[in-house]
Amino acid sequence: MTQRVYVDGPIHDEALGMLRSATEVVPEAVEMGAALPDVHAVLLRTASLDAKAIERARYLRVIARHGVGVDNVAVDAAARRGIPVLITPQANLRSVAEHVFALALAVSRNLIRADRTVRDGRFASRDRLLGRELFGTTLGVIGLGRIGGEVAGMATRGFGMRVLGYDPWLPTHRIRERGAEPAETLPDLLRACDLVTVHVPLSRETRGLLGRRELASMRPGSLLVQTSRGGVVDEDALVDALRSGHLAGAGIDVYKTEPPLQDHPFFSMEQVVLTPHTAALTEQAMRRMAVDAVQGILDVLGGADPYDPPDGARWQAFDPGPVAELGE
């Protein structure tokens, strides 16, 4: 019996070729709802796969995410059916970590405002664009999974920053191994840092993790970078913290509603730098995510145990345990 695979959206040509050489790929023109009853695997990019959809997929054996976030998959429903949800935890960690510093530098050095100043012929106003160095400042990393650990390493090696880490799902020695000094509590970290970056998936435990009280406890004049998932940071509270001047700026890649509504207050704030959920979208990461996800599908369809991957596998089955291990 030919194994049929549905792919949600475009993926790297190399990965698509891997799939086509071993399975039947559902044509792009077919909608997922129509394809599900007859597919054996689904590769998900941005579409959602809810419990009803999973129940209708009578032959489904594996779901693979083009990345690591699983908030668009009804993982409980999949588990009830014995369907593993695969993630690609190594594929995008460097790309996301680099994007954290792209946003941090853009905010701390006023890069967007500086660009507009030159384009508008206001070169002489450069003295009003005084920036701040990252060197010697304290970075707070919330969530010391793979991406958080990569960020911590870049901060110390590349920018000479002191790094504090908060992760209630990891023992302190693991936090230290990932290049950060453990903070006992989240408020302890927030009060001590000049820049805070968030690296946890969206879950019941992390929704609204940084709310009004937490943002108020951040060091006055500090910066926030958000590349995890929309909903982890309370956007209304963040707007108020920025408007009041308590926070000096923010770099934001993910939003509660994507795309943000056209009247979102972020759009009128010069101290905020926005990107359209592109932290993981580099040429290299897109190839790795696609190839790793496809290899996971082929391995599982070929009989591999999803919870005991072959040696060297760059995919793994989602584990609903310590959420910080998932990074993004």
Give the strand pairing for 85-87 and 316-317. antiparallel
Give the residue numbers marked as catalytic.
229, 258, 277
pLDDT in the model for residue 320: 67
pLDDT in single tens digits along all 328 residues of the chain = 789 999 999 999 999 999 999 999 999 889 999 999 999 999 999 899 999 999 999 999 999 999 888 889 999 999 999 999 999 999 999 999 999 999 999 999 999 999 999 999 999 999 999 999 999 999 999 999 999 999 999 999 999 999 999 999 999 999 999 999 999 999 999 999 999 999 998 888 899 999 999 999 999 999 999 999 999 999 999 999 999 999 999 999 999 999 999 999 999 999 999 999 999 999 999 999 999 999 999 999 999 999 999 999 999 999 865 433 333 3
Torsion angle, CA of 264/103/210/89, rounded to 10 degrees? 110
pLDDT in the model for residue 321: 55
Going through the chain in order, the beta strands assigned E by DSSP cover 4-7, 24-25, 41-44, 62-65, 85-87, 138-142, 162-166, 181-182, 195-198, 222-226, 247-252, 272-274, 316-317
Start-end of CATH 3.40.50.720 domains in the chain:
4-91+283-320, 93-274
4-91+283-320 CATH fold = Rossmann fold (3.40.50)
Q: In sequence order, which residues have a C-beta less than 8 Å from that of residue 15 and are 6 or more positions away?
A: 287, 290, 291, 293, 294
- Between CA 154 and CA 256 the distance in angstroms is 28
| Tokens 């020695």 -> residue | 173
Torsion angle, CA of 218/224/227/229, rounded to 10 degrees? 40
Domain at 93-274, CATH from 3.90.1150.10, 3.40.50.720, 3.55.10.10, 2.60.120.10: 3.40.50.720
pLDDT in the model for residue 216: 98
- Between CA 179 and CA 196 the distance in angstroms is 15
- Between CA 53 and CA 21 the distance in angstroms is 27
pTM of this prediction exceeds 0.85? yes
